[in-house]
Structure formats: C-alpha cells, structure tokens
Structure 1
Amino acid sequence: MGISSPGIGSGLDIQGIVAKLVALEKQPLQQLQVKASGLNAKLSAFGQLKSQIANLQDQAAKLASGSNWETMAVTSSNAGAVVGTATSAAAPTSFSMEVGQLARAQSAGSGVFGTGTAPGTGTLKIQLGTWAKGGFTSEDDGTAEFTPGSGSEVSIDITAADDTLAKVAAKINAAGAGVNATVLRDASGERLLVRSSATGEASGFRIQALDDDGNNSDAAGLSRLAFDPQNASNGLSLTLAARDTLATINGVQVKSSNTTFADAIDGVTLTVGQVTTAPVEVNVKRDTAGARNNITAFVDSYNALNNALAEMTKYNPADKSAGTLQGDSTAVGLQSALRQLVGGMGAPGGEFGRLSDLGVQFQADGTLKVDATKLDAAMAKPDALKAFFSADEAGTAADGMAVRIKAFATGMLGVDGMFATKTQSLQGAVKRNASDQERVVERASRREEQLLAQYSRLDANLGKLSALSTYVNQQITMWNKKSDN
C-alpha cells in the first residue's frame, strides 16, 4: 500500500524533490515537441506548395491546349438584337443581319365560364402541326388549313361530370401533348388559356372535341374547348398565331423555330433578341482576349508560387529568423527548377524564343511582370503564340513551354512524385517523433514511481529513527530525574 502523503514521517518535501527529478527526466520531451511543431509546419508548407503547383498545372494546361488557341469570338454592333458564339470550326468572317420578326408560340383562349363550372364530358384530341391561311399567315386567302406534324395525336378523357375547368387544365398539362393550359380568373368568371410549349410555326396546335352531348362544334358542352377552324370548330379563339423567327443575313432570308440560328453559318450560333430597324454588323474572329487572359492567369499563378517559396525559404540575418523551409533542399530545388523552366526557351524555330519576347519579364524578386503593350502586339500573332506554348513533340526538347511546365507539374503531383515522397517522409518523421515522445513520457512515469517508492521508504525509515530518538531522549530524562532524587 503506497503512502498517500510522502514526507510526513521525515518532514522532507518529497513531492517537490521528485517533481524536479522527473522534470529533468522529461527535458528531451520539450525538444521533441519543438521538433514536432517544425515537422507539422513543413507538412503544412508542402501542402500549400502542392496546391499552388496544381494551380500552375491548370494554368499551363490551358496554354498547352491547342484548341484554346483556336477559339473564336463573335461581336455584334447591337447586342440587344443579335449575339453569338463560335466554335473552332468557324472561319473568320463578317456579315450583316436584320431581324424581321421573332418566333412565338400559338395561343388561344376560351369564352367565359362560371367559376368552378364543369365544361362538359367527352374526349379532347390535341395534335401539333402547322396552320396556314385563314389569318394564320400573311397570305390570308381562305379557310385555315392544318398540316399535322410528325408527333402522335394525344387523347385526353374528360369523363367526370364535376371536372372543372381547373381539372381539365391539369389533365391537359399532365398529358404531355406539347401545350400548356392555364385558367385565367377575373370578375366575369374563368377562361381556359392554351399555349404551345414551344415556339415556331410547326408548334401550332389543333384541339378536336368528341363531345358527349353529340355535337362536336356547337357552343355547348366540351365543344367549347375545341380549336379547329378548318372544320368550323371554334370553341377557343386564337389570340396569337405560331410563327418562326425571320431574318436576313447579307440580304438572304433565314428562319428558325426559336430565336436561335444554330447552323446558318458553320461553327457559329446566333441568338436574336428583338426586331431590328437597321442592319446589325456581326464579326467572327480569333478570341485573343481569352488567350491573353490565360497568359496573365499563368503569370499570376507563377508569381503566387514564387512568393510562397521565397517566404518559406528566406533567412533574415538581422533577427536570425528563418522561413519554414529555409535550408530544405527539396524546396530550394523546386524554386530553381521552376525558374529555369519559365526562363527557358519555348518551342525551337518559332517567332518567339522566350517569355520576354511576349512582354513577360522576370523581376529582381523572381516574379514575372507583364508589359501590356508588348503582349498586345504579340497577341496579333496567335499562331506563333500557339507554337511557343503548345507545340507537343512527345516529351522532347521541341515541346512548347506550357507543355513542359504542365509535364513537370504533373510529375511532381503524381503518386511517386516529389510531393508524395516528401509528404510520406515527413509523416514518417512525425510518427517517429510521437513514438519518441511517448517513450520519454513512459520513462519519466516509471522514474517517478521509482523515486516515490525510494523516498517513501526513506521517509518511513527516518520516521522510525525519529521515533526512536524521541524515546531514547525520554528515557534519559527519566534517568536523570531519578538520579537527582
């Protein structure tokens, strides 16, 4: 059984003595903790560098991609009326475009029904197609004619006597017939509004009614929801006729079922937004703005990485402070390799030899700076820029600069690359450090137990000696008194 309060017998500060001796035993722990902090700081630093290398890889990949140098841009003198996009299949060109009318969907509405009224029972047959004549086109020269489209006719059964106008609209919407139905309410009652789901002449609709009252074209029962002017069935009244977008390109008429012309010009998609009162000039040319942005984004990414490396590897002799990776051969080697890559030559034989030829120059602190005027002049030669950055000769010295930088970054980020190797090494050191700390703590704990046991025995022995001394002194005192008597 251990002594709960060592020192009672002897008066010695056993706890204080043991604590100081154990503290001496734990001195290596402080050094190990400082080392662990440094290792974790290095792990964090390399994690930050890895992220920035990945970003540099992404930016280099954009410059290394040949397709990014072949993108085309579309500009318009009236972006409210005409805008466009272009793929690399488009050829540089310019043309004039005028918009005469915009595509729209067919719309029709019923007469007024009392609120909550059931319009009748039977079957509504809805089909999409094209209307002609009878007010549906500019050639209003006779009875309307409907030409069914390729889609199938959709039948909608209205069989419940209490199917209100709202329920009919819901059934139409659920049928997927290519039209949308809405109930409009005002002070006079309810109306059924039907509209094509898509715009364009071919998205017109016909609604035929098979009315359970036996008459499919009168003004009673389900016939009131029919729309078939070709067969004199006009329960719904036309509010808007379906039509295509009509435009001219260099005076040649073109049309579209919506507001987009996807194949009028190879590689170019045009979208119109309003009818024009004057020709709109449209130009298709190389997208130098996108390529220029890619170059400046690469410079920004490199500078961020360069600054991080400079901060991590610096040493300040004035206050003798050092960066997290000061003296780390891996970080110093990475810094040197990047500067050699970026400061090196592009693809041989090209019009541009180095980044400085494009207006991207090294500064004293190792960062890159863009000379906007010189870069703008270089952008006028997109094919030469493409060769400088993206020439790909299967890993040879003839590769473009961006291709080489991308390959370098890919290797460093790979499963066997520098970052993986360095991270594994540091993690191993952290693990060993943690084990060393545990051993120091365990050794100090065992030492504390030993010291407490030793001093407890000493305390007990001293206590016994003290008791014996007291007893002897008492006996001597008694003997002395007897002698005096």
Structure 2
Amino acid sequence: MGVSSVGIGSGLEVEKIVSQMVELEKSPLKALQTKATSIQTQISAYGEIKSLTSSLNDIVSKMSRDSGWNSVNITSSNTAVSGAMTGIAATGSFNISVSQLARSQTTMVGGAGGIALPKDQSMGAGGNLKLEIGGKSFDVEIGAGDNLTKIAAKVNGSGAGIQATVVANADGTERLMLRSKETGTPHAFTATVTTTPLTQNPGETAADFAARQAELADSTLAKLSMSEAQSALNAKVKMNGVDIESASNTFTDTIPGMSFTVSAITTGDALLTVKSDTESIKKNIQDFVEAYNKLNDLLSKSTKNVRDLNGKVDAKATEDGTGVLQGDSATVSLQNALRTLTMGTSGSKGSLRRLSDIGIQMQQGGKLTVDDTKLTKGLAKGEDLKALFANKADSQGSGGGIAVNFKSFTDKLLAYEGTFDNKTGSMDKTLKRNQQEQDKVNTRANNLQIRLYKQYSALDSQMASISGLNSYVSQMVSAMNNPKK
C-alpha cells in the first residue's frame, strides 16, 4: 500500500522505512511456511504408505481365504474332453470315454409327404400348431393368410424353447425347420397341426357345407406334415468304467467342484487329471513378499535419520522425501509391528510354523528374501502351507496364520476412522492451524502498513505546516531588517 507523496513534507524515506518494518512484522511467516511444507510432505508420504498398505491387504485377504489355496489345474490327454472348475475340486484323475454326444431334436414341416411349399404359400385355413416339450404345452394360432415365415415368427415368440427357421431351396420352395434350443431327451418335443373345425351355418344346405369341408381338407394347413429329421439324444460317457448320461455335452454334477465337456466321440479313454495349482499359490506368496517389501522400503526411507551429530538436517538427503517422517512414533511403530507379524508363528500344528520354513528370511533393514528351492519344497506340503498362512484365529484373535494376522492388522489401519484416517486427519488440522497463523501474521502486517502510512501522512502535514510558518517568519524578519526607503 505505497503512497508516493508521503515523505515529501518530512523529507524521510517513508517507503523504505515502512517496507522494512512490514517485512520485520512478517518474519514469522518463513518458519510457518517451512512447517506447512513439511506437513504437506508428511501427508503425501502417509498417502503413499496407505496405498501400499492397501495393496498388501489385497494379497493377504486372498491368501487368508480357502479359495486362495484350493485352486487346481485340470489337464486332459485328449482335446475331446476338457474340464473346468466350478467350486472346490479334489485332486485326482478320471478315465473318460465318449460314446455319444448330446444333440437337439429337429423336425421339418412341409406339405403332404413332407414336400416343400412354394415360397410365401398361405395356409388357406385357420388352425393351431400345438407344441409339447418338457411336460408343457404351447399353442400357436395360425391364420388362413399366414405363410411359413409368419408361423416361424409366432413359434419363436411363444416361449416354448423351440427355434423355428424357414429353410429355402434353390428352386424357390421352402420348408419350416423346428429345432429344440437345448440338447438332450428332456427337451424332445412333439408338434401337431390342427385346422379350426367347421360348423354348418343356419340355412346352409348339406351340399354347401360338404363343399366347405372339402375345401378345408384341401387347404395347405390341412395337408402340412411333420417329419423328424433328427431325434434328441443325451451325451453318454464311461467314467472309470461307470456309464453316465447328460442332457448336454457338459457334465456339471458328476465330479464335485468341477465340470467336464465332451466335444467328440473317442476310440479310447481320455485321462482327465486334477492337480493342485502350485504355480498360482507360489505367485501369491511371491506377491505377498513383494507387497511387504515395497511397504517396508517406503517406511525405512521415510523414517531414515537425515541429521548429523549436531542435529543439522542434510537438505540434499531430504529432496526425495527421505526422512520426512523421521521421529514419527506412529510410523516407527507401524514398521516394527509389520516386522513382528512376519516372525510370528501360526496356529498350525503342521511341519511349517514360520516363514523361514519355506525359505522366506528377513534381511537387515527388514526386507524379505525368498529361497526358491525351499519354497518349492514347501509347496509340496499343501495343507501345512495353507495352515501357515490361512489358519483361522480363535475367538481371542490368536492362533491365526500369517496372512490372517496381516489381514486383521491392515484392516484396522485402513478402516474408516482407523489409524491412517486419524493420522492424516490430525495432520490436516495442524496444517489448517498453520494457515490460520499465517493469515494472522499477514493481517497484522497489513494493519501495521496502513497505520504507519497514516502516521507518516500526519507527520508530513505537521512538517509542512512548520515549514510554511518558518518561511513566513523568515520573510518577516527579512522585511524588518530591510525596511523600504
């Protein structure tokens, strides 16, 4: 708030004086701004720690569930037989031979004797197409002007589970193909066409009525015939010598936890083998180690000592965030707790009790390393390995496996109003108070500037008055000393 005229009357360098005094009043800002930058850096660091903790929580959550340890690989010696997981499948092998594939029923509809009809031939009479499938009956109304295309549309809209298609020949004739949408004998169907019965009209002669009946009997609808082109069949296999059938080519309830699908008739047995998916389990363990190491590295970097023996901070060492949480008790406690969890025993009574039993060792600085040879040996001990990580904790919260304990701990860290939320919330409040202090300093400095300019303006007025009086007195004295002649 500079006033260029201030200082003219007094002859003082008012701008310079006011500027220096205002800067002196603002001197606390530098320390406050430095502190604010430090808090913002800490908030950012905690955000990154929370993100890596969430990644660790994801993998230990997977490893704490049964499904994370029950995955299997299914292989087949013949491409005609393939398997797929549907639940928890036990390991084992099955000899499967295929003698028949499932198929849908197909019925062709044409004129008398099944011959094709001229394209767009109308039925010439009204009636009904009755479809019976799966113990249910569906009636499709047929109009005298309907052709095969219109009848097909009505069948497809009936909800009977039968697909109707008009099959056109090169000579311009056509037939109606009815096909069950699902395979197997439970989905076999019958199709029956009936014409609407005639009744003799009042006053109609017997001859006229007979003529109408003859016309009805000669209509296209009355002459429609059905011929089964393909019957419905179930798929048939022998599994380990036992005969089994399925309405579809996929056997869903034969082997608990898995299904298998057949696609061709075989001349011999196909060997379907179910083995534990150790590669998937191994990857989960490696992902756990990697997620833990990333979090541990960040915590180590954030709490690293960046002060010399005199307590001076090495500014260069802190440029990448190193030591930003040095001395923060919550962060140090978090790092120690995570390391303790890796060293704890599970509730398992099996041969694997610690991570070191499967080749996972903690190095100096808390980083974990994996001995692949020992881990491979541990993978062969399926139930013991599962118990090491996924054993359920008791009602007191003890006896849990490594993954179970990690999940319980990280869940609390990540929970709404949990450790991380409370910590960042506290830092946000500190940052807000810091900004309020900065605002107070700026307000005091602005008020001081306004007050000083007012004071110096008043001084200028007084000095100007004194200067004017001095000039007047000087003139009077000069006049008295030099009277006019």
Q: TM-score, normalised by structure 2?
A: 0.79
What value does the CA root-mean-square deviation take over the aligned residues?
A: 3.6
2:235 counterpart residue number: 245
2:182 counterpart residue number: 198
* 8 Å Cα contact 1:9-1:460 kept in structure 2: no
1:286 counterpart residue number: 276
Q: Deviations over 1:358-412 (max 9, x none)?
A: 0222234432222222111111111221232233333465332222222222333
2:93 counterpart residue number: 94
Distance 2:98 2:216 in 1: 39
2:443 counterpart residue number: 442
Moved more, 195-204 or 334-343: 195-204
* 8 Å Cα contact 1:57-1:405 kept in structure 2: yes
Q: TM-score, normalised by structure 1?
A: 0.79
1:423 counterpart residue number: 424
Distance 2:468 2:18 in 1: 25
SS in 1 for 2:279: helix
Q: Structure 2 vs 1, CA of residues 316 and 209 (structure 1 numbering), >3 Å: closer, same or farther?
A: same
Deviation at 1:173, TM superposition (A): 2.3
Q: Deviations over 1:105-158 (max 9, x none)?
A: 2234555666666555634434344xxxxxxxxxxxxxxxxxxx32x2111223
* 8 Å Cα contact 1:6-1:459 kept in structure 2: no
Which residue of 176, 194, 197 maps to 2:159?
176
SS in 2 for 1:194: strand
SS in 1 for 2:264: coil
Q: Deviations over 1:38-86 (max 9, x none)?
A: 2222223223222322332332233333454345543322355322326
Q: Which amino acid aligns with 1:171?
A: K
* 8 Å Cα contact 2:167-2:176 kept in structure 1: yes
For residues 226-245 of structure 1, the aligned pairs below 5 Å read 233-234=225-226, 238-245=228-235
Q: Structure 2 vs 1, CA of residues 465 and 410 (structure 1 numbering), >3 Å: closer, same or farther?
A: same
Which residue of 288, 298, 308 maps to 1:298?
288
SS in 2 for 1:153: strand
Distance 1:440 1:123 in 2: 96
Count of aligned residue pairs for this structure pair: 452
Q: Which amino acid aligns with 1:358?
A: I
1:69 counterpart residue number: 69
Deviation at 1:335, TM superposition (A): 1.0
Q: Structure 2 vs 1, CA of residues 36 and 484 (structure 1 numbering), >3 Å: closer, same or farther?
A: same
Which residue of 244, 266, 269 maps to 1:254?
244
* 8 Å Cα contact 1:204-1:242 kept in structure 2: yes
SS in 2 for 1:327: coil
Moved more, 267-276 or 2-11: 2-11
Q: Structure 2 vs 1, CA of residues 424 and 75 (structure 1 numbering), >3 Å: closer, same or farther?
A: same
Moved more, 241-250 or 394-403: 394-403
Q: Structure 2 vs 1, CA of residues 459 and 383 (structure 1 numbering), >3 Å: closer, same or farther?
A: same
1:122 counterpart residue number: 126
Q: Deviations over 1:217-251 (max 9, x none)?
A: 97854457x6xxxxxx32xx545432222222123
Percent sequence identity over aligned pairs:
36
Distance 1:210 1:199 in 2: 27
Distance 2:83 2:30 in 1: 68
For residues 391-470 of structure 1, the aligned pairs below 5 Å read 391=391, 392-395=393-396, 397-415=398-416, 417-465=418-466
Q: Which amino acid aligns with 1:206?
A: T
* 8 Å Cα contact 1:261-1:269 kept in structure 2: yes
* 8 Å Cα contact 1:92-1:284 kept in structure 2: yes
Q: Structure 2 vs 1, CA of residues 124 and 483 (structure 1 numbering), >3 Å: closer, same or farther?
A: farther
* 8 Å Cα contact 1:6-1:14 kept in structure 2: no
SS in 2 for 1:263: strand
Asked if 1:57 is matched to 2:57, the reply is: yes
Moved more, 106-115 or 294-303: 106-115
Q: Which amino acid aligns with 1:173?
A: N
Q: Structure 2 vs 1, CA of residues 202 and 460 (structure 1 numbering), >3 Å: closer, same or farther?
A: same
Distance 2:373 2:423 in 1: 42
Q: Which amino acid aligns with 1:444?
A: A
Q: Deviations over 1:409-465 (max 9, x none)?
A: 233334564223312321221222222222223222322322232233334444555
Q: Which amino acid aligns with 2:354?
A: R
SS in 1 for 2:29: helix
Distance 2:92 2:132 in 1: 38
Q: Structure 2 vs 1, CA of residues 247 and 430 (structure 1 numbering), >3 Å: closer, same or farther?
A: same
* 8 Å Cα contact 1:96-1:280 kept in structure 2: yes
* 8 Å Cα contact 2:132-2:138 kept in structure 1: no
Distance 1:471 1:3 in 2: 32
SS in 1 for 2:326: coil
Q: Deviations over 1:157-203 (max 9, x none)?
A: 23483x56544433322221111234456763665443222122221
Distance 2:91 2:371 in 1: 28
